[in-house]
Amino acid sequence: MKAFDLVIAKDAAHAVTLLAEHGPSARVLAGGTDLLVELKSASRVPRVVLDISRAAELKGIELTDQGLRIGALVTHTELMRFPLIRDLFPALVDAAHSIGAVQTRNLGTLGGNLVTCVPSMDSGPTLVALDALVTITGPGGRRQLPLSDFFAGPRKSMLEPEDLLLDIVIPKENLGKPADFQKFGLRKGQALALVNAAASLWVDWERDVCVAPRIALGAVAPTVIRARAAEAYLEGRAITPEALAEAGRIAVAEARPISDFRASADYRRDLIAVLTRRALANAYARATAKRDGEKQ
Ligand SMILES: Cc1cc2nc3c(=O)[nH]c(=O)nc-3n(C[C@H](O)[C@H](O)[C@H](O)COP(=O)(O)OP(=O)(O)OC[C@H]3O[C@@H](n4cnc5c(N)ncnc54)[C@H](O)[C@@H]3O)c2cc1C
pLDDT digits (tens, 9 = 90+) for 63-102: 999 999 999 999 999 999 999 999 999 999 999 999 999 9
Q: Please tell me the distance from the alpha carbon of residue 197 to that of residue 218, in angstroms, as a whole number.
A: 6
Residue 1 has pLDDT above 80, yes or no: no
Check residue 295 and give its pLDDT: 77
Match domain 57-174 to its CATH number in 3.90.850.10, 2.70.50.60, 3.40.50.10860, 3.30.465.10: 3.30.465.10
Task: Note whether 5-51 and 57-174 share their fold.
Answer: no
Instruction: Kindly report the protein residue whose alpha carbon is nearest to atom 41 of ligand 1.
Output: 165
Check residue 45 and give its pLDDT: 84
Q: Tell me if the pTM is above 0.95.
A: yes
Residue 218: phi, psi to the nearest 5? -120, 155
CATH number of 179-295: 3.30.390.50
Buried b (16+ CB within 10 A) or exposed e, 5-21: eebebeebebbbebbee
Domain ranges of the chain: 5-51, 57-174, 179-295
Of the pLDDT bands very low, low, confident and very high (cuts 50, 70, 90), residue 287 is very high
Question: 196: closest CA among 220, 168, 177?
Answer: 220
Check residue 190 and give its pLDDT: 84
Residue 187 has pLDDT above 90, yes or no: no
Instruction: Give the Cβ contact number of residue 157 at 10 Å.
Output: 18
Handedness of CA 278, 279, 281, 282 (dihedral sign): positive
The ligand 1 site (C-beta within 6 Å) comprises 27-35, 37, 58, 72, 99-100, 104, 107-109, 111-113, 115-116, 121-122, 159, 164-165, 192
- Spell out the residues 6+ positions from residue 240 whose beta carbon is closer than 8 angstroms to its own: none
Of the pLDDT bands very low, low, confident and very high (cuts 50, 70, 90), residue 189 is confident
Check residue 245 and give its pLDDT: 98
CATH number of 5-51: 3.30.43.10
Instruction: Kindly report the protein residue whose alpha carbon is nearest to atom 21 of ligand 1.
Output: 113
Q: Read off the pLDDT of each residue in 178-186 and give the average, rounded to a whole number.
A: 96
Average pLDDT score, the chain: 96
Least confident stretch, 35-44, 47-56, 129-138, 157-166 = 35-44
The amino acid that residue 163 corresponds to is: D
> Can you tell me which atom of ligand 1 is nearest the CA of 33?
26
Check residue 75 and give its pLDDT: 98
CA of 105 to the centre of ligand 1 (A): 10
Question: 109: closest CA among 81, 164, 72?
Answer: 72
Number of helices (H), then strands (E), belonging to the chain: the values are 12, 14
Check residue 2 and give its pLDDT: 77
C-beta separation of 201 from 213 below 8 A: yes
For the CA atoms of 179, 184, 187, 190, what is the dihedral angle to 10 degrees? -60
Per the document, the length of the chain is: 296
